[in-house]
A and B are shown apart, each in its own frame.
Chain A
Amino acid sequence: MCLQTVIYLSIYLSIYLSIYLSIYLSIYLSIYLSIYLSIYLSIYLSIYLSIYPYPHTPLCRPAKISKCSYLMRCSAHPCLDRIDSGLSIDNDLLPPSLLPPPLHSPALPSPPLPPPLRREMGFVERRWRDVRVGDFVKVVSNEVIPADILLLHTSDPNGVCLIETANLDGETNLKQRKVVPGFAAAPTSPFKPAAFKSTVVCEKPNNDLNHFSGYIEKPDKKKLGFGIDSLLLRGCTIRNTEESSGIVVYAGHETKSMLNNGGARYKRSRLERQMNIDVLFCVVLLFSMCLIGAIGHALWLETFSSIPPYLVADSDGHFIPSTLAGFYMFFTMIILLQVLIPISLYVSIELVKMGQVYFITQDVDLYDEETDTRVQCRALNITEDLGQVQYVFSDKTGTLTENKMVFRRCTIMGTEYSHSENAIRLAVLGEADASEDEVTLFQQQQQPSLFAGDPGESIKRCHSTQVDVSGSQRSKVTTGSQAQSALAFSSPLETEVVPDRKLLQVVLGAEHQGEESGLDRSLYLDFFVALAICNTVVVSTATAQRQRVKGRRNSCAPRTFLGRLQGVLKKIASPQSLFRIVKDKQEPLSDPFAADEECPDLSDTPTIYSTAVEGGGPKTRARVTTAPRPAQRQGAEPGSASLVDDDVCYESQSPDEAALVHAARAYGFTLLERTPDRVTVRLPGRGVALLTYEVLDILTFDSTRKRMSVLVRHPHTHEIILYTKGADSAVMELLEEPADETVSQREFRKGLSSSTQRHLDMYARDGLRTLCFAKRVVGQKAYEEWSLLRQQAIAAIENRAELLMDTAALLETNLTLIGATGIEDRLQDNVPETIEALRAAGMQVWVLTGDKPETAVNIAYSCKLLDQRDLVFTLSTDNKAVCKSRLEGTLQEVRRYGSDTAFRGYAEGLRGPGAGSLGEDPTIGLVIDGRTLGLALEEEDLRSKFVELCRHCRSVLCCRVTPLQKSTVVKLVREKLRVMTLAIGDGANDVNMIQAADVGIGISGQEGMQAVMASDFAISRFKHLRKLLLVHGHWCYSRLSNMVIYFFYKNLAYVALLFWYQFFCGFSGTTMIDYWLMIFFNLLFTSAPPIMHGVVDQDVSAATLLSTPELYKMGQHSEGYRRSAFWIGMVDAFYQSLVCFFIPYLTYRGSDIDIFAFGNPMNTVSLFTIILHLAIEINAWTVVHWVIMLGSVLAYFAVTLAYSAICVSCNPPSDPYWIMQQQMADPMFYLVCLITVVVALLPKYTVQVVRGTLRPSTLLYAKQLERLLPRPQMEEQIRIDASEAPPTPRFRLSDLSSPSPPDSPLPPPPTTPPPHPTPHPPPATSRIVSP
């Protein structure tokens, strides 16, 4: 018996399952697999293989790595043994880590090296994956560093190596790395790995990019310590250094950059997660239906006193007991009703998403002409998440900004120089951005007429020499991944500054009059000197600038000159004894502006001059020359100077410093050279008048002081001068107030500071980054006293940073204000508009940046992230307790404030609708720095407080955060607030964040491909985010949510039809519809319309969505796909299936109709109901809609007619032969179909209509408003919109959708749109509140 049941069940299941599975698998999966997988794989592989520039995820990308580092493996060499033995020497403090990576550990020297190489002891090219710990690696300029390498040798005479860390932290400036101190060999001699006999001990691999420590133990037991500044990090690029060699300390997955990679996360869209719960509901529903069937069958069997003729016994003539029959029936029912579990839904969703992705990538508005890139959808499964984003986390550099700093204005001695010519030039530049060659032409024609003087000349020359290179880099044709990486560097057009004419005259005048002028003049000069030297800019030559160098670089004269200069300086200055030089070096000249001794060195390169003479022109200004030089060269000097200009390039930690140096250069104050001990500036007008200041100290920038200073000794006067540059708040407080000044002097000073302050406020309002410049002349004695303190501070072990800061603050007092500058970090196009739109769409925009707080705040203001009226809280502390108390304090304040505004809003609400709008209240912004953030993220308690605080803030700015912190913040917000997060970034430092967020967006084309590779969507400009989210996101979400609900509805509506029949067939599992037709029903007749709906339906047009971002909120609040919508759909499905079943049932009851003729009208009415149900949902009928909807109906009739004409006895027991034809010849069939469809859809239709009339949704309003504008106008609008101006007629749906008495006519007449909220006159400064 038991065996029989098992056999029976297995046969039954196998038959049904084989049919179902064969059909599902063969058809669905073949479609799915063939289309989806092939496309996905082809896209994925093609992206992966063709675009991927170099292997960041390592060790596993064979053939593609053509570029390799030079590698020398010392497996046959004692050095490795030394290292290994060094490992065996246990050090208590620093655990040894120089083990080979565990993956390859047993057989370390696995790749056999060609024997000859070992003998020759030369470097060989090897792939990255072959690099092992302990290898000596030589990396040449512009190569990517393959592992974490301890720098042991560089070709630079100073033992420095410049690297670009854009892949790690997004900063495009150069960073300096030094050879392990004390290890430096003679720079001229090549590095000999064979001579390395020391042991390297360092810490275990960790993910801290900013810390590293260890020591080298020399054979003579002398230990040389090193830190992070001797480590070349994997993923960085060597710049401006011909070659660097070192020993690998971490390789592969142990490198710091790899440990910072959080790893990819499998992403599933929120809608699908919600949907999965509903699938569970469907399962529950299925089981309850099956249970009803099973119990019903058992009870039905119980009613018979004896066996009726229609009960069929088993093959052996026995009947199974009714309970067992009921038990079996449960499984029969599962097979019968399993369509309720929407397997096809998953396949359809994939197809829909593929269609959506297709349309997103086809959007011409998301195409960037400049880089010839479309939007890339790399993740095919989360398109609808784009429509639900609530938090946007953005990187700053390269994402919001172009990372191009431009000097815009300055104020010197209380006089503002607006640099209007420069502004015009920039404006022109912005317009003609597409083609830079034109700009170049324009520049060349314009400038000579504007500026006859030599500074203009120099600029012209600059352009003519440099633009060609960069122009070709930017032009479309040659754009490739390699060229793109070069885009990150500021193009000279943007760094060049056209001098303000008035200021130029003053400067030149000041220079002419020299010393006989008063205080004013020298301060003007001081201003520019401060501009030029008060920074940490690295000077390099243009030829060394980041070009791909193959083999040996062309050495050229200026480079040789500088090299020689450096060599000379090297001889004079030894790095250890700073103060000795000061004493030793005796300047022969007493004239403060006399040229330096090194001048003859420069003038000894006549070959350059000869080429440059042509640009010289009549030069008469260089008459005041005290430098001893041959007179015949004077005419050529300006030209030669400009040539030198051309060859100098500035690389800076912060781009604004570079911008200042460029600005100074525009006025002739050219920073020529910088070494740790001295800085050389060329003065304008006097030919090659060089001033070499000795740098006594650099008081580096920190965020507490908000300023930096340079302490220099003037070469001629030997005055010790402190130049300070910093935020206005930091500098203005420290201005001198000498006791012995006269009244007029005090008046003058006060007037000066107040007018400067006024100008600064103006700059800040314009979104410029402001910096104040001040100077102080320090007496020799005061300096010596101070330097003692300073030395103690430097030597200190504990609290070193604080001591350094304190000593710096000691010196930075009693400053004399010189002036201030305004610098613009150029935002990308339309960034403020985009952020405004995202805000209006209800998204919170956060900026997470590795940059300084000041910079970030400035950018935040200029991109409208922070408003001048906002209440900004700043959290910055090192101490945990302080952090905690501040967090709490801020939170309380914010809460109080929030309740205030809430109350006010409530009160205003009472007064009348529309009286108080949200935008007028100042909102809260939060600025937090990385260390504080780290503290706040440490403890659970603090974390929740932080999140709570952030929830109250409209915008949050996190500065100085590490890549890992970025992702932590994103994860925190995502998990604590349960919101949909989007992260957008362009650099490798954003990879973690991009992967942690629900939606990761990479900006392509700026800083390599890491961000793009990790992203789900890759766009080329930040402004594209607007259309991507507001239009495509909205569409995808509303389409998909409609589609999913519809799918659930559709399945239930059809399955319930079969279920109702069970009540009339003794719960025996009979279907009244031929099962082929049943399968076709889901597969062919009703599958295309929902997919089409999911791909092409538009609830509102793109133009409306762009102009009314409020519509986006629908997705954020998950209004499209709600549990209620699901259940309404289910109830509707039940109702419709009841109608579809019982109207034919009542019609045919008691007649002689047979099973399948009875099922046929039901199948037909179900089809019509289901199709027309969708038709009610469809918002815009295009040709595609008509074709697919009508096509589905026609396909149904065609297939059914053909099937019932052909299949005579092919499909027992249903035998559809001639049923359809018979039915279609019967007028009753049509009458039944007509009334059933009408009755089934009447409630849905009526509810839709009544709701649309009584309580129209925001979307409906948008649709109605859209109707008022003819289509072309909308198109125009979107064009305008997309370019820059805000849309002229802007609908404010916040007004429309506010609840109001029904008889008040709500929508404003379209001819008079509500006035765009005009910005209020902002108060003078932002309120920075730090509790």
Chain B
Amino acid sequence: MSSTEDIIMAIPRELTQNPLRKIWMPCKNGLPEKHISQKRVCMTNCPTLIVTVGLPARGKTYISKKLTRYLNWIGVPTKEFNVGQYRRECVKIYKSFEFFRPDNEEGLKIRKHCALAALNDVRQYLSVEGGQVAVFDATNTTRERRATIMRFAEQNGYKVFFVESLCEDPKVIAENIVQVKLGSPDYTDCNTEEAIQDFMKRIKCYENSYQPLDENLDRELSYIKIMDVGQRYLVNRVLDHIQSRIVYYLMNIHITPRSIYLCRHGESDLNVRGRIGGDSGLSPRGKEFAQGLGRFIQDQNIKDLKVWTSQMKRTIQTAEALGVPYEQWKALNEIDAGVCEEMMYEEIQEHFPLEFALRDQDKYRYRYPKGESYEDLVQRLEPVIMELERQENVLVICHQAVMRCLLAYFLDKSAEELPYLKCPLHTVLKLTPVAYGCKVESIYLNVEAVNTHRDKPENVDISRLAEEALLTVPAHY
């Protein structure tokens, strides 16, 4: 008879659709079975350790934080481990650059200890806590230090990807120092002049022993060298999907000062009637907002502003009032509410009370029947984010759920917070990158509109009463 390998004329397992995410999964006796890969794409089959390399003030922490934010947003659990922070915890008070002198034995011991402590936490994160990517943010300027890290990675079965930042432009370095070093806890008690002087000496301490990644000696390693803030890149041995995405991202970001304006379309006819989705036009107040937006944009005097809308009537109508060219992106369309399109929350409660409750239980992952989830939205919006990173001044006229997703990316909000971010009508958010984060200015354009924000109700149980479900529904006509 056939060997054990051949027996599996697999009896296809029954399928059941997970009620929250509407994903079809094999089940046994009506209960879902553990399934190997339900993710949209298997990013990597083993955890990845990203290791930054570079002298101080070369943008390593900026890159680490930004990359971590991006990876988390697209659904790859990522965490950064900044060795400087470990050092500050160990050496409570920073005295001067002397700590970093290469002949400071005591200093070297402490710094090595901190690096190992950080690696220990990396192991905890990747092997125990289910993290997928860890960003090890330190200078890592010697081959010796990098060898230690690679041994650690090999022992634990992690892939290693180096991100080296090289920059000799004194203007860029000076600007870095002003932007992020002066505000560091290390320099709280120094004046600007002293701080800059000390920091420059600190850099000097590393310069002599700096061994950049070498095209020859390191040809078996996977890395990207970023030169002169992105003018030039050297990419070596990209091993898998996640490394490929990381490289693509790093090659698209820039640090040219600019602002991103986010707003929703003007109030729509369906908004007024408390109905979700659809493709209606602007209400009279919505039209007023569009005019106001036009004036606001003019007053802001923005250089080379690009305007993007979705392909839905209400955002386009809003953009038309600006009198400038704009681009329509289908990817910016509002979340598809499937069978619930154009319904009021009251109607959803009436016709789909189970769905309504499930949505309140996990608003991020919940997918409308024949529709989308916030999680789907994020995936849909990734090319928009990538292009926003490439661009400079942009105004994005979009929708509530879409704006929440974009905002969550810029402000590093978690999947739990994202669906409840406040994005009211007739309000423009101006985002300006500053230091390691984003400054947000909220400008309400003084045109009344309905509130469309529904908070998470107290009772999210399937067995709840209709009134409990509808407690937080905003007023409408």
* Pair from one complex: no
Binding site for B on A (CB under 8 A): none
